[in-house]
Every structure is written in C-alpha cells, then in structure tokens.
Amino acid sequence: MTDFQFLARGIALAGCGIGAGCALIAGIGPGIGEGNAAAAACEAVGRQPECKSDVTSTLILGVALSETTGIYGFVTGLLLIFLAPGMFMNYLQ
C-alpha cells in the first residue's frame, strides 16, 4: 500500500465518521420538538378535558411526522458507519 492510498483511506474513514456524527445529531431536534408537543398537549387537555381524544390524535400524528427526520438521520448514520467505508475502500484499491 502506498502512502497515497494510506492517506486516502484515512481521509475516507474520517469523512464517514464525521458525516455519521452529523447525521446522528439529527435525532436531537425531533426529541426536543416531541417533548414540547407533549407538554403543549398535556396543557391543552388540562384546560379542556373534553377535547382529550382530538388532542391525542393530533399529537400522535405530529409526533409520528416529526420522528421520521430522526429515523432518517439514524439510518443515514448507520449507513455511513457500516456500509460507506467498505464502498470507499473498494474504489481506492
């Protein structure tokens, strides 16, 4: 293995690691947003208990939609950690 190939592999692995870290940070936003939504739903049910079913169904829909971004970030991070380094190493041989 030449020095260039060694350096290229290191850069590829570092890029995969940095990208995976950034992708996994995407889980922070949905977590904060879902917590705020749940707090607002609890407050709304506390003010108007008769609207509990409407508030609950709207909360579940909103949480499900916001969670998809966290799941996409998690899957992207896993792909960058486990799949991408092997693909880059095949190109560098």
CATH number of the domain where residue 62 is located = 1.20.20.10
- Residue 93's pLDDT band (boundaries 50, 70, 90)? low
Q: Give the separation between CA 66 and CA 27, rounded to whole angstroms.
A: 10
Q: Which residue range is the domain that position 67 belongs to?
A: 31-93
pLDDT at 5: 82
Position 10 in a domain: no
DSSP per residue over 53-73, as a string? HHHHHHHHHHHHHHHHHHHHH
Position 26 in a domain: no
CA nearest to 34, candidates 65, 80, 75, 74:
65
Q: Could you tell me the two tokens for 82?
A: 């486990």
Position 23 in a domain: no
pLDDT at 7: 87
Position 3 in a domain: no
Query: Does an H or E element contain 87, and which?
Result: helix 84-91
Residue-level length of the chain = 93
- pTM of whole model > 0.85? no
Domain count, the chain: 1
Average pLDDT over residues 3-15: 86
